[in-house]
Amino acid sequence: MEILLVPHPVLRQKANKLKIISKEDINIANHMMEAMIKAPGVGLAANQVGILKQIVTINFEDKENNKKVNYILFNPSIIQYSEETVVMEEGCLSLPEQYAEVERPKEIILEYINENEKIIKKQIDGFEARILQHEIDHLSGKLFVDYLSSLKRNMLIKKVKKLQHLKK
């Protein structure tokens, strides 16, 4: 499973909602989890591997609360955002080695379906909320660089293109 890099057109497309969670979808999610961990990354949306389905994988270590967070989300949606925002540095597996400060809501209320077809609704804050907002943006064809000025965005995209050219 290969992670697509900007400016790949699939990264700008909307992912489709799943009507049912099939064995194939769970299989895709498990392969995404492996690709994300290998990369290494903390979150991955199906668009990033060329699949236009609403699937997200999350895997990171929460050092503050001393826990490992690792799960799969189908059809995730943010149903509420906090007014309070936080600025943090973000990166993306589709824009390797590129980072920028992005302002996002501090807390979200998230709803998704898990691999057992249970609807999960939970309030999330901190780093996990940041990752989920970033990945759910991917599902609608939005990248973290879209929050930046066009000058900064174009600069980061050019750097990725240059890196790709150098690797060939």
pLDDT, one tens digit per residue, over 27-68 is 999 999 999 999 999 999 999 999 999 999 999 987 777 888
pLDDT of 101 reads 97
For 87-136, the DSSP string reads EEEEEETTEEEEEEEEEEESEEEEEEE-TTS-EEEEEEEHHHHHHHHHHH
pLDDT of 168 reads 65
Half-sphere exposure of 37 (CA within 13 A, CB side): 14
The Cα–Cα gap between 3 and 39 comes to: 9
Mean pLDDT of 111-128: 95
Encoding tokens for residue 148? Answer: 């930046």
pTM for the full model? 0.95
Nearest to 90 by CA among 101, 77, 82: 101
Encoding tokens for residue 127? Answer: 């780093």
In sequence order, which residues have a C-beta less than 8 Å from that of residue 53 and are 6 or more positions away? 15, 16, 18, 25, 28, 46
CATH superfamily of 9-167: Peptide deformylase (3.90.45.10)
Identify the helix (H) or strand (E) that includes residue 26: helix 23-38
The Cα–Cα gap between 143 and 159 comes to: 15
Domain coordinates in residue numbering, the chain: 9-167
Catalytic position from the list 64, 111, 117, 135: 135
Q: Is 34 among the residues known to form the active site?
A: no
The amino acid sitting at 151 is L
pLDDT, one tens digit per residue, over 122-139 is 999 999 999 999 999 999
